[in-house]
Amino acid sequence: MLNVIVGSKVKMNIKLWSLYALLLLVCQPTFAAGTVEVLHWWTSKGESKAVQVLKDKMEAKGHHWKDFAIAGGGGQSAMTVLKMRAISGNPPTAAQLKGQDIQEWGRLGFLTSLNKVAEQEHWENVLLPEVEQIVNDLQLIKYDGQYVAVPVTLHRVNWLWINPHIFKLAGAKVPTTLAEFYVAADKIKAAGYIPLAHGGESWQDATLFEAVALSVLGAQDYAKAFVDLDLTELSSDKMVEVFRQFKKMRQYIDPNAKGRRWNQATEMLMHDQAAMQIMGDWAKGEFTSEHKVAGKDYLCVPVPGTQGMFSYNLDTITFFKLKSNDEDERAQQDLAQILLTKPFQREFSLYKGSIPIRKNVSLKGFDTCSLASMKAFKFAAKNNALVPSFSHNLATSSDVQSAIIDVVSRFFDDPSADPKMAAVRLSRAVKSAM
């Protein structure tokens, strides 16, 4: 009798396990997991948390995330690696690309169409109208009528970050003009603190130069010089003044700046070592990652003299043709779909320090700096004061950008450099690179 009972239990267990296995098969996704590999240079604390948002959302769809991060805030090292991968016939799923480089990769035949996703997600109707205008004017997301890239973040570059504690100790006033900046910097220096945190990398030099140029030239002449590439404007007396003011900044930077990364410069503000930093609002992602509070632990104000103007950096992810399987191609399409969804735009921007580029994304929970950035963006758009950041390669080719950065960085590193000669060299360098 016992054997019969045991045997019945075994048979029943076998049937139950068979039913369970069948249910597992039924509940499995109708597609196999794919792998996505995204080349980017988002490697600081705040940026890494932002990337984790994208990784989590891809893995929630059942895909594998293969990180392909190349350190270096300017992206030059990443572009070198990308070219090697592409030439060898093994490009990544997607890469952080900008400006005219997207068109160049398209002409070379490396990019894939995202039209199917764009149609399903109604991309033509989801972007903020001001962002839509930017991507159309600069040809940032389409090649030959095909969607090949997705805009991800909008950053304000002309921010001055301030440590209010040091300002109070030094008796300094938050500056609104370059003249006031130097007065504050002198007081801070006299109090024993570093006035301006800076990293001695060429792209950081260019970011500082760009901020000074916007302050001295104004939005219209800035665009004439660095978007239209007007050679007369590039060698003008106004540009000589830009170099003169830029050189003056050097005396407020500590001698150990050479080779310092931008996020290490931001940490100097957090640790009461420096009073100010001129950097895009990705710096805010670092403050956020350390639980610092905007308006209390740090302040954000426009670079002195650039009130009402907005120099922007728009990050885009560009998609490459794959020589892999259907699963990887599906994963690639899912990646493109995620980037412009409301939840991703909101979560990513909170960590990254940027502002969402999609319509109707709630800004509840965003700090005062982000809210100020969105307000400044819309104001500048209405007043013809939106300008693309040349230091982040939006409006020019990589060759032109490299030529500008080379002249700027060499000038900044040479204490005896002549501002007038620098302006002449700038014009000549741009002409040669065009």
pLDDT attached to residue 273: 97
pLDDT attached to residue 259: 86
Instruction: Write the DSSP symbol of residue 37.
Output: E
CB atoms within 10 A of CB 425: 21
Long-range contacts of 231-240 (CB under 8 A, 24+ apart): 231/427, 231/430, 231/431, 232/427, 234/423, 234/426, 234/427, 234/430, 235/423, 235/424, 235/426, 235/427, 236/423, 239/213, 239/423, 239/426, 240/419, 240/420, 240/422, 240/423
pLDDT tens for the chain, residues 1 to 434: 434 444 444 444 444 444 444 333 334 444 568 999 999 989 999 999 999 999 999 999 999 999 888 876 666 778 888 888 888 888 999 999 888 889 999 999 999 999 999 999 999 999 999 999 999 998 899 999 999 999 999 999 999 999 999 999 999 999 999 999 999 999 999 999 999 999 988 999 999 999 999 999 999 999 999 999 999 999 999 999 999 999 999 999 999 999 899 999 999 999 999 999 999 999 999 999 999 999 999 999 999 999 999 999 999 999 999 986 789 999 999 999 999 999 999 999 999 999 999 999 999 999 999 999 999 999 999 999 999 999 988 888 889 999 999 999 999 999 999 999 999 999 999 999 98
pLDDT attached to residue 157: 97
Q: Which two tokens stand for residue 227?
A: 């978007």
pTM here is: 0.89
**What's the half-sphere exposure (Cβ side, CA atoms, 13 Å) at 340?**
27
